[in-house]
Structure 1
Amino acid sequence: MAAAAAAEELGLLECKVCFEPYGPGGRRRPRNLPCGHVLCWGCAEALCGAGRRGLECPFCRRAWGSPETSDCLPLLQLLEAAAGPAGAAPPGPALRLALGGWGALVNPTGVAACPRSGRLAVAHDGEKRIKVFGASGACVRQFGERGDAGNDVKYPLDVTVTLDGHVVVTDGGDRSVKAFDFEGRGTLALREGFSLPWGLDTTRENKVIVTDSEAGALYCLTADFGKGKLEKSQMIQSKLTNPRGVAVSQASGAVAVIEHLKAKGPNNSSTRIKIFSADLKLIGQMDSFGLNLIFPSKIYAAAVAFDKEGRIIVTDVYNQTVLCLGKPEEFPVFKPIISHGLSYPVGLTYMANNSLVVLDGGDHSVKIYSST
């Protein structure tokens, strides 16, 4: 099972003090300390000691006046899921196809699926910046060669495919948003009004949502991409912190944005996921610290998507996993989906047949997983 395999792979189902496996009851039951770290009930009792009125966390050394602990519900849910009915568990997504590899793809940054044809558009740093794969996995088109007048893509950051079959790319080289048809012909280039456009996704109304990382803003573009006519560019959210990845739910219209937070000192950066309703009201957010309270490992989200039921899916480059954080109204829950075979997952999308597509920057490949 995916959840059980992921939990075992990340060491979630064992106490980090005694290294014994957690259990549903007794001394092996996982308990939250007041600081949010987790250990088994037996170790928590031992730390309190006979007659002591407080405890000290063995991980962060924070002292607490009260020895009270509470059940770690996410780990208990994982234990329950791992056991399943009569010990059985539903299978997770299986790797069905891997595309690309070093040379075929060079440092890929974004992936998107065409909802009509099933073709995949991948943005990478090869000579021709956009590579299109057919439903069978064969490369059927390449375009966006640097220096090609009218079709030039200097430094692609992300890609989406509109409902009418146009490939839209954010270009960090000249800070623009560019649209192409699947033959590689440029139809629209927007070079004004952006500081550093980064992530993008397509809405149910065939509009394109764009994050501007430097401006800290979210834009909505309304355009006739076939005719190359921009109808409206509107800032719909501001005061975001370095927003990059963005996804729009085709089920509800909800919008998920990944913010990249800067901190003093090396390796202290973190991410925050904000969830907005279809009318752009903030309905939930969670940063790496908050996720750490329900998942005892550092998480750094690089890409976000919604599945067909409207659940929030993210890639975690620190733990080389793909995680489900639940629907907006229940966000965040925690369920590992894929925990094996990924090196540096930087992109994520779903195909029309509900196959999960993961862009792996570590081995320069696109990995397609069967629907569950």
Structure 2
Amino acid sequence: MMYEQGCSGYGTLRGAGGKGPGPCSKRIHVFGPSGVCLRRFGERGDADNDIKYPLDVTVTSDGHVVVTDGGDRSVKAFDCEGRGVLAVREGFSLPWGLDAASESEVILTDAEAGALYRLSADFRRGELKKCQMVRSRLVSPRAVAVCPTSGAVAVTEHLRARGPSSTRVTVFSAEMDLLGQVDTFGLNLLFPSRIHATAVAFDGEGRVIVTDVCSQAVICLGKPEEFPIFNPLISHGLFYPVGLTYTANNSLVVLDSGDHSIKVYSST
């Protein structure tokens, strides 16, 4: 699954054999395991389910695609064929990152409000059940990930007061209790690296994984109770990694906007 963020900077991401439409006609691209683009959807326009400026995308366990749209400050859901089923506007300031917690629930960040929300819906029927703020007083929270085994939630915060490249990774339990926290300054005291975390994920063992655009790498920070650990998983071949996720077979998928590509790494 891939999205285009604006019309410049990212370009059009295509499958191995597809020419497809122009860069601004469809906002969401769905790729198969071989890299072929299977379908595209999400027109740019003013209709209720059009997508103006996608910031993040996730897929629920039953195949619904959920997108944060910074253009009209909403969260939009589509079925597996790309048909819009739900658009949520719950007074968001700037909904940014999101990740599926189950087939009926997603966790999302509001970068401008400094908040974390839990959104529950019946996506098949297109019915919103609940949208609840579960954490506040975060600093420009953006990327978010939900651990599939424990339900823990990891968030990247962008600490603007400490400089444009200072970030913090904060992990909460499923009940929203603080489990661990590490920032650029703290890591720089212990390791010879200044991390600017742009994306976050959990591996199968519950370890926190981040993309770092400063070192052009993917780094394991360990489990929250182990913070801080610095273990580079991928240190070559990346240019500007801005997204990552693990697949069901434990392969690591990285979105590299530096060369407009999706890169898949095997765990073996």
TM-score normalized by the length of structure 2: 0.89
For the 8 Å contact 1:347–1:358, the answer to whether it is kept is yes
For the 8 Å contact 2:96–2:109, the answer to whether it is kept is yes
Quote the offset at 1:204 in angstroms.
4.2
SS of 1:250's partner is coil
Quote the offset at 1:205 in angstroms.
6.3
> Among residues 10, 33, 42, which one is paired with 1:107 in the alignment?
10
SS of 1:164's partner is coil
Partner of 1:301: 197
SS of 1:314's partner is strand
SS of 2:33's partner is coil
- Structure with larger RCO (C-alpha < 8 A, sep 6+): 1
Letter paired with 2:228: P
Q: Percent identity?
A: 70
Quote the offset at 1:272 in angstroms.
0.6
Partner of 2:216: 320
Distance in structure 1 (CA, Å) of the matches to 2:248 and 2:116: 26
Mapped pair 1:213 → 2:111:
yes
> Among residues 63, 73, 86, which one is paired with 1:188 in the alignment?
86
Quote the offset at 1:293 in angstroms.
1.8
Quote the offset at 1:182 in angstroms.
1.7
Distance in structure 2 (CA, Å) of the matches to 1:193 and 1:149: 19
Quote the offset at 1:192 in angstroms.
2.8
> CA offsets, 1:100-126, max 9 Å, x none?
9xxxx9617xxxxxxxxxxxxxxxx74
Mapped pair 1:272 → 2:168:
yes
Quote the offset at 1:331 in angstroms.
2.0
1:298–1:164 distance in 2 versus 1, CA, 3 Å: same
Distance in structure 2 (CA, Å) of the matches to 1:148 and 1:233: 24
Give the structure with higher Rg (CA).
Answer: 1
Number of corresponding residues: 253
For the 8 Å contact 2:60–2:102, the answer to whether it is kept is no
Quote the offset at 1:294 in angstroms.
2.2
Structure 1 runs of 4+ aligned residues shifted over 3 Å read: 148-151
Partner of 1:243: 141
> Among residues 126, 144, 154, which one is paired with 1:228 in the alignment?
126
Letter paired with 1:107: Y
For the 8 Å contact 2:90–2:131, the answer to whether it is kept is no
What is the aligned-residue RMSD (CA, Å)? 2.0
Quote the offset at 1:215 in angstroms.
0.5
Mapped pair 1:288 → 2:184:
yes
Structure that is richer in strand per residue: 2
Mapped pair 1:179 → 2:77:
yes
Quote the offset at 1:334 in angstroms.
1.1
TM-score normalized by the length of structure 1: 0.65
For the 8 Å contact 1:204–1:253, the answer to whether it is kept is no
Quote the offset at 1:327 in angstroms.
1.1
Partner of 1:357: 253
SS of 1:209's partner is strand
> CA offsets, 1:63-84, max 9 Å, x none?
xxxxxxxxxxxxxxxxxxxxxx
For the 8 Å contact 2:62–2:103, the answer to whether it is kept is no
Partner of 1:256: 154
SS of 1:145's partner is coil
Distance in structure 2 (CA, Å) of the matches to 1:245 and 1:299: 15
> CA offsets, 1:258-302, max 9 Å, x none?
0001137xx643101101111110111111000112221211000
